[in-house]
Amino acid sequence: MSEQVDLTTIPISPEGGNVDGGKSDDGATITVFHDKEHFNVKHPLSNRWTLWFTKPASGKGDNWNDLLKEVITFESVEEFWGVYNNITPVSELALKSDYHLFKEGVRPEWEDPQNKHGGKWSYQFKEKRAINIDELWLHTMLAAIGETLEDEEDGEVMGVVVNVRKAFFRVGVWTRTIGKSIPGRGDGDVAGGKGRTPEKGREILLNIGQRFKATLRLPPNELVEFSGHTDSAHSGSTRAKAKFTA
């Protein structure tokens, strides 16, 4: 595994100028696509996102909370590329490592209050040498932060995950619900509420699954699977029986 850059040294705001649409000294607008270090305008995302990293366990006594590290939070396209260009690619991570990209304030854990009623879509790539996992993970992150995995009013997607294992790479999308209204949430709540019927909830989740499948560029005969976090916790595995497939 190559040495990871100290992310506290990454300039996630441009040096000088007005980050909200300023001009350079000669009056030109410079975006990150023109100059990745000296841009003078930022493109805000709809949500703030936090990157997390799970380092490999050194022994059976390791605590999950000690392995899970919060890396950095960002809120613009430019900040995302600043982070992405300075972290270790998935293909170079040690086995049993994970990246998690979640909305700010949501920990990538089943027990988090915003996750405990939810589940995840996932797919395992068993032919590790036959795929470009770095490109697939990049497209998954871009779909998440670009809010293209769901419709605006759905409020389901919590984050995306990639797992590096000896026999496979696994990519997943975590959702707030399993297609049912969350107990105690009223009709005014965007996520898990609004009086959704089970049929509507299932429709929303299946739509996310189809968009996730398209993001991974999977052929029609390959299936992504959805399972609930509660089922996974009860089975003691991240591979609980699938509730849905797409």
**pLDDT exceeding 70 applies to what percent of the chain?**
75
At 128, is the secondary structure helix, strand, or coil? helix
Tell me if 61 is assigned to some domain.
yes
Mean pLDDT over the full length of the chain: 83
Reading the block at residue 51, the tokens are 């990157």
Question: Cα separation of 227 and 120, whole Å?
Answer: 6
What are the counts of helices (DSSP H) followed by strands (DSSP E) for the chain? 5, 8
Tell me if 177 is assigned to some domain.
yes
The pLDDT tens digits of the residues spanning 133-173 come to 999 999 999 999 999 999 989 999 999 999 999 999 999 99
pTM of the model: 0.81
Beta-strand ranges (E) seen in 104-191 are 119-125, 157-164, 169-175
Q: What is the CATH number of the domain that holds 218?
A: 3.30.760.10
Domain that holds residue 113: 49-74+92-245
Tell me if 195 is assigned to some domain.
yes
The pLDDT tens digits of the residues spanning 47-84 come to 999 999 999 988 776 777 789 999 999 999 888 998 99
Give how many domains the chain has, as a whole number: 1
Tell me if 69 is assigned to some domain.
yes
At 126, is the secondary structure helix, strand, or coil? coil
The pLDDT tens digits of the residues spanning 202-216 come to 999 999 999 999 999
Tell me if 26 is assigned to some domain.
no
In single-letter form, the type of residue at position 134 comes to D
DSSP 7: G
